[in-house]
Every structure is written in structure tokens, then in C-alpha cells.
Structure 1
Amino acid sequence: MGSNEIESSGSEVVTIDVNVAKGLIQNGYVYLDVRTVEEFEKGHVDAEKIINIPYMFNTPEGRVKNPEFLKEVLSASNKEEHLIVGCQSGVRSLYATADLLAEGFKDVSNMGGGYLDWVKHDFPVKIPITNEKEL
């Protein structure tokens, strides 16, 4: 077992690189962004099917796991859905993918390198327009 694999109740997390992820996203896979809403709103992967469900929240005490994560994913998709899970650098998405596989999701892949790697490859991103009129 390699250093970047996590065993999760018999299902091994598959980590794919951003090039593979981009192809799958363009072919109808759902991109599940598990970063915080604040991170998501600063910019995210440009995907036709994208869901933002934070795996962790920032609190004054530091990051805490979102206790409703699995429930929220289940309400936004189903266990048969083809999901690519991504975060900022690939750590949270690894744990989120393991949790989803343990929950019985059939086709979930972790996007290695996360949003930072996606941006580094100059792949399409969406950055919401803010109301600030700064030059």
C-alpha cells in the first residue's frame, strides 16, 4: 500500500491527477468541492456539475469535521453518482473520499493536488464576481 492510499472498509481510495480529473469532469462526472464556502467563493473548478459541501469548518478553535458531511452529500447526489472529490491541496478530499466509500458510494475518486494543482495547470476556473469596485 502506497503512502497516499487510505484503506477504508475494503474500498481503496483511488487518487487521480488533475489531467484525468479534468477529462472525467468534462464527461459528466460531478465535481464535489469539499473546501469551505469561503474558499469556494474565492474561485473554483469550472465544472458543469459542481457541488460545494465542506468536509471541515473553520472555527476559532481550528478546523473541525462537518458532522453533516455524508448526509449533505447524500441529499445532493446518490451512491451511484460518478464523483470526483477535490479540495485545496488534496488532503481533505482524501479523507472525504474514504468516508464516502465507507458509506457505500460506488464511484468516487480523489483529485490529487486539489484546486492548487488545477490552477497551476491553467485549467478553467470560475471566480465569482464581487461587488467591490476596486481597480
Structure 2
Amino acid sequence: MESEKRPEDVVTVDVQVAKDLLQKGQLYLDVRTVEEYNKGHVENALNVPYMFLTPEGRVKNPDFLAQVTSILKKEDHVVVACNSGGRGHRACIDLRNAGYEHVKNMGGGYSAWVDSGFAGDKPAEELKIACKFRG
């Protein structure tokens, strides 16, 4: 099919650009497993696992697109991320093929977010202020 999106059709942004997009109101779709998400995530993140861990290994969530469609509109602007970038990239391809034109993959995923000093659950600025008050 000529209209199928290819991996090179996915826009990947670094964590600083992703953070700026989120501050401008874009949505954050975390495609990690529920277990990964529960260990820490970006504030206001929406969680729809792209894959599940099974005894046989990782398997793609057969309901991924249906679950995303239930919480996101095709015209929404969305930053997609997993733990290191791979699942997020594949999720972006599937989303683009399903008609989501405004999706971007966050390069490096949540690991890069944490490594950049951006906290999960709260913006870094709020944490800095909280630390000042603790003295």
C-alpha cells in the first residue's frame, strides 16, 4: 500500500523538545507496560501499553489502537514514549497508519527523560522549589 507509513515517516524529538511541547499543551502517551508506568511516569501521562510481557516474551497489545482511539482524537498533538524509544517508534508508525498525523516519538524514551533531570510525576521546576522549602 502506497499510503502505509514507513519508519522514516516518524518524527523523533529529544526530551527537551518533548518537554517544551508538553508545556504548550500537547498530550503525552506512555506506551510502556502498566508495571513500568507505575514505577514512574511523566505528569498527566496517558498509559496505553503497546506490548505486554508474557511468559513467551513481549507480545503486541492487540487492542492498542482501539484503546488509544477511546482516549485520543486523531487531530490531537501527541508525544509518544516508551522506556528507551523502540516501542514508542513502532507505536507512532501504527498511529500514523491509523490516521494520527500529529504524533512524535520522544527519542530515548522515559529513561532519557529521567537522565535529563526531568522528574517523573512532577516538572523539575516544582521539585527545585520543593527542595528549597525543605531547606
TM-score normalised by the shorter chain: which range applies?
A: 0.7 to 0.9
Note if contact 1:56-1:63 (Cα within 8 Å) is conserved in structure 2: yes
1:65 correspondence with 2:60: yes
Once the two structures are TM-superposed, the CA of residue 82 in structure 1 deviates from its matched residue by 0.5
Picking from 79, 88, 104, the partner of 1:93 is 88
Question: Which 5+ residue runs of structure 1 have no aligned equivalent?
Answer: 1-6, 128-135
> What RMSD over aligned residues (CA atoms) do the two structures have, in Å?
1.7
Number of residue equivalences: 119
Q: Does 1:108 align with 2:103?
A: yes
Matched to 2:65, the amino acid is L
Question: Residues of 2 paired with 1:34 and 1:108: CA distance?
Answer: 13
Distance 1:23 1:14 in 2: 15
Map of 2:18 onto structure 1: 21
Distance 1:23 1:59 in 2: 35
Contact 2:7 2:93 in 1 (8 A): no
Which runs of 5 or more structure 2 residues have no equivalent in the other structure? 123-135
Runs of 4+ with >3 A deviation = none
Q: Deviations over 1:14-48 (max 9, x none)?
A: 000000000001111100000000000000112x4
* Equivalent-residue separation in structure 2 for 1:113 and 1:13 (angstroms): 14
Give the fraction of aligned pairs with identical amino acids, expressed as a percent. Answer: 55
What does 1:1-20 align with in structure 2 at a 5 Å threshold? 8=5, 12-20=9-17
TM-score, length of structure 1 as denominator length: 0.84
Q: What is the TM-score of this pair, normalised by structure 2?
A: 0.84
CA distance in 2: counterparts of 1:76 and 1:93, whole angstroms: 17
Indicate the structure with greater helix content: 2
Q: Which has the higher strand share?
A: 1
Larger Rg: 2
What does residue 3 of structure 1 align with? none
CA distance in 2, matches of 1:125, 1:51: 13
